[in-house]
Amino acid sequence: MLMIKRLALAISAAALAVSIGAAHAQDALKLTIASEGAYPPFNNLTSDGKLEGFDIDIGNALCAEMKAECTWVSQDWDGMIPALQAGKFDAIIASMSITPERLEKVDFSKKYYNTPPAIAVPKDSDVKDITPESLKGKTLGVQGSTSHSNYAEAKYSGSEIKMYPTSDEYKLDIANGRIDAVMDDVVVLGQWLDSDAGSCCKLLGTITPDPAIHGPGAGVTVKKGNTALADKFTAAIAAIRANGKYKEINDKYFKIDVYGGEG
């Protein structure tokens, strides 16, 4: 009789463990994350349509740290924030800068990287430096709806600012002599200039970021008011910085620490 009772208790305990495990599985954080897929080396689409790049690897590391089940989707840059607001996904990891303008519409984690903007010109350009005076009367290409386009419009009013849907398109235009200069993140421009596709051009110089326009760096974007999720991402960023995972991913893509100054 005692043996039967012990067996019954063991079966009950096993059943309880299975039930708890199933409940925990159901409670696992499930997130859909969007990225652009047109901003290498931070995010890009492979030939078979899969997202890859620094943003994606960082996002996967954050999901692992949060023990979250994450699914990735690609989204055109111009529709990124409206799609988030409409609930098509839970977060954006797409090199989106934490700017005062965006903070009116969405919330962010703390930064996960911060690199300065820069300007590139054709190798035979007569433009001498990155000042607005040097670029006066020139056509300056930049991806639209970005902190870079906002900065170009605010500081380079003497230039013709030409907006592009993606960085790939302004690269084609400057390579074919249709514009005089381009502005973007220094890492994006630097890796392009090091490739065959960027052999047309040279880096003219880096720009000191304007905090009022560029913000403190790129963060994980969430719906306005979802501070709990933003805080989870912030904690995960700190964790992968501390445990070495961030450095492992950083060193896969860059020769510098793109996180920038602490804080």
Displacement of CA 97 from its chain's centroid (Å): 8
CA distance 166 to 144: 8
pLDDT at residue 263, rounded to an integer: 52
Q: What are the beta bridge partners of residue 108?
A: 221
**Which pTM does this prediction carry?**
0.86
Query: Which of 208, 165, 194, 211 has the alpha carbon at shortest distance from 39?
Result: 165
* pLDDT one digit per residue (tens) for the chain, 263 residues: 445 455 444 455 444 444 444 444 457 899 999 999 999 999 999 999 999 999 999 999 999 999 999 999 999 999 999 999 999 999 999 999 999 999 999 999 999 999 999 999 999 999 999 999 999 999 999 999 999 999 999 999 999 999 999 999 999 999 999 999 999 999 999 999 999 999 999 999 999 999 999 999 999 999 999 999 999 999 999 999 999 999 999 999 999 999 997 65
What is the identity of the amino acid at 186? V
CA distance 193 to 120: 9
CA distance 54 to 250: 7
CB 230 within 8 A of CB 109: yes
What is the per-residue DSSP string for 187-244? HHHHHHHTSGGGTTEEEEEE----HHHHTT-EEEEEETT-HHHHHHHHHHHHHHHHHS
Domains of the chain with CATH codes: 29-114+216-253 (3.40.190.10), 117-213 (3.40.190.10)
CA distance 127 to 35: 34
- Burial-class residue 27 by CB neighbours within 10 Å (0-12, 13-18, 19+): exposed
pLDDT at residue 28, rounded to an integer: 84
Residue identified by tokens 């386009």 is 149
Cis preceding linkage at 41, omega within 30: yes
CB 218 within 8 A of CB 113: yes
Sheet holding 117-122, edge to edge: 160-164, 139-143, 181-185, 117-122, 201-206
The single-letter DSSP state of residue 79 is G
